[in-house]
Amino acid sequence: MDISLYLAFIIATLVLCIVPGPVVTYLVATGIAQGPRAALTGLAGSSSALTIHMVLVVAGLAPLLNALGHWAELLKLIGALYLIWLGVQAWRMPLVRSGIETAPKLSAKKLYTRGLLISLTNPKTLVFYAAFFPQFIDTSKPALPQSLLLAVTFVSLGAISDGIYGVAAGKLAPYLKSLRAQKIRNRITGLVLAAAGLGLAFARR
C-alpha cells in the first residue's frame, strides 16, 4: 500500500491509543492493585477482544454493526455498567496490614476475562474503523491485504500503548503498602473506574 497512507494511519492510531479509555483505566487500576504482571494478563484479554474487532472489520461487518444503532448503544451500556460494578468492587476492597503483596488477588483467568469483556463491549474500535478505514486504503490495489496490514498494525500499537500504561502503574504498587495508601488506592481506583463507566454510558456516538 502507499507508504504515505500507512504513515497517516499510524499517526491516527497512535492518537486514538494514547487517549485513556475504559481499557487503559482497567489496566492502570489492575497494575496498581496487583502489579505489572497482572496488568499484562488483563492486556492479553483486551488485546484478544481487539483482535476479534479487527476480524469483524476486515470481514466487512463493521459498517453493518455501526448501522444497527441502538444495538451498539446497548453494547456500550453493558460495558459501562460493568466498569461501574468493577469500581464499586475496588472501592470496597478490604485492607490488609501486611501490605499490597498479600492483598486479595484476582486469578489470571479473571484478569484476562475482565480485560476481554471491557474491550469487547466497547464499540469505539468498530466505529473508528467504519469511519476512517476506507481513507487509508489505496483503491488502485487489492483491499484485503491492506486491511489485514492495518488491522495488525492497530492491534500491535494498541497493545504496546495500553501495556505501557498498565506496567507503569504496576511499578507504583510496591510504594502503596500502608493501610492509608491502600485505602487511597482503592478509593481512587473505584472512582476512576466508576467515572469511566458513567462517562461511557453518557457519551454520544
Q: Does residue 103 carry a pLDDT above 60?
A: no
Return the percentage of the chain with pLDDT > 70, whole number. Answer: 67
pLDDT of residue 194: 79
Let me know if residue 100 belongs to a domain: yes
Question: Up-side HSE of residue 88: CA atoms within 13 Å toward CB?
Answer: 8
Q: How many domains does the chain have?
A: 1
pLDDT of residue 101: 45
pTM: 0.64
Q: Which string of b and e fits 141-160 if b means at least 16 CB within 10 Å?
A: eeeeebbeebbebbbebbbe
pLDDT of residue 169: 82
Let me know if residue 43 belongs to a domain: yes
Let me know if residue 17 belongs to a domain: no
Q: Which residues contact 88 (CB under 8 A, 6 or more apart)?
A: 190, 194
Q: What's the whole-number average pLDDT of the chain? A: 75
Let me know if residue 76 belongs to a domain: yes
Structural domain for 26, as ranges: 3-12+22-202
